[in-house]
Amino acid sequence: DGGITQSPKYLFRKEGQNVTLSCEQNLNHDAMYWYRQDPGQGLRLIYYSQIVNDFQKGDIAEGYSVSREKKESFPLTVTSAQKNPTAFYLCASTWDGESGNTIYFGEGSWLTVV
Amino acid sequence: GENVEQHPSTLSVQEGDSAVIKCTYSDSASNYFPWYKQELGKRPQLIIDIRSNVGEKKDQRIAVTLNKTAKHFSLHITETQPEDSAVYFCAATGTGFQKLVFGTGTRLLVSP
């Protein structure tokens, strides 16, 4: 778990602004994920990436965008199109994304709209 | 796609009692079922997992059982301790690329 670094830990967004959450891992994992967690709720998949330069939409991708230019990095941009972005965002990674491999989470980023 | 339901949403027990959390899943192709523990404001931590070729797995005070026919799996915690208090999430994923689908969580409170 210690190999996944998310920043910032707390972020405030004004209406109409785009913000980017950083996720870096030094575990040499191929697969990376972004999940959103609302208070008292489970985790929902936003985007995932199986390899560099490739990513796919998850269940709630609208209003978000990602890139995967480097193996170790998978930043998430919350755009102004996301109308209710206040949530806890978790980045995760795993060895190659094949079923049964442990998924490890970063420490999370709290995003609040002000 | 996969859908995972988790019950109960809250569970209060006395220290030393056992706790059981149950999840059901919809996709019969799912073959990997991890359980995560999340303390307030922190990241989920894997506590135990089970694969579809196994019916039960134990790790000290924690055990998970899987019933593929009924499509449900359960987390069992024995001799509960106050430090077991947290939110527990079950998850499921199928073959191919792993995309975990999570349950809605169970808040476990262990009272001394």
Contacts of A104 in chain B (CB under 8 A): 46
Contacts of B102 in chain A (CB under 8 A): 42-44
B106 touches chain A (CB under 8 A): no
The minimum CA-CA distance between B20 and chain A, rounded to whole Å, is: 18
CA atoms within 13 A on the CB side of B82: 2
Mutate which: A30, A99, A102, A111, vs B, most B CBs within 10 A = A99
Please, what is the Cα angle at B25 between A35 and A44, to 5 degrees?
A: 10
At residue A2 the predicted structure's pLDDT band, cuts being 50, 70 and 90, is low
Please give the share of chain A, as a percent, with pLDDT higher than 90. 76
Instruction: Give the separation between CA B26 and CA B2, rounded to whole angstroms.
Output: 6
> What are the tens digits of pLDDT across the range B27-54?
998 999 999 999 988 999 999 999 988 8
Q: Which of B19, B25, B24 is nearest to B107 (CA)?
A: B19
Mean of per-residue pLDDT scores for chain A: 92
Residues of chain B with pLDDT under 70: 95
Helix, coil or strand: residue B43? coil
Cα dihedral B93/B94/B97/B99 (nearest 10): -20
Residue A98 has pLDDT above 80, yes or no: no
Structure tokens at B21: 């959390």
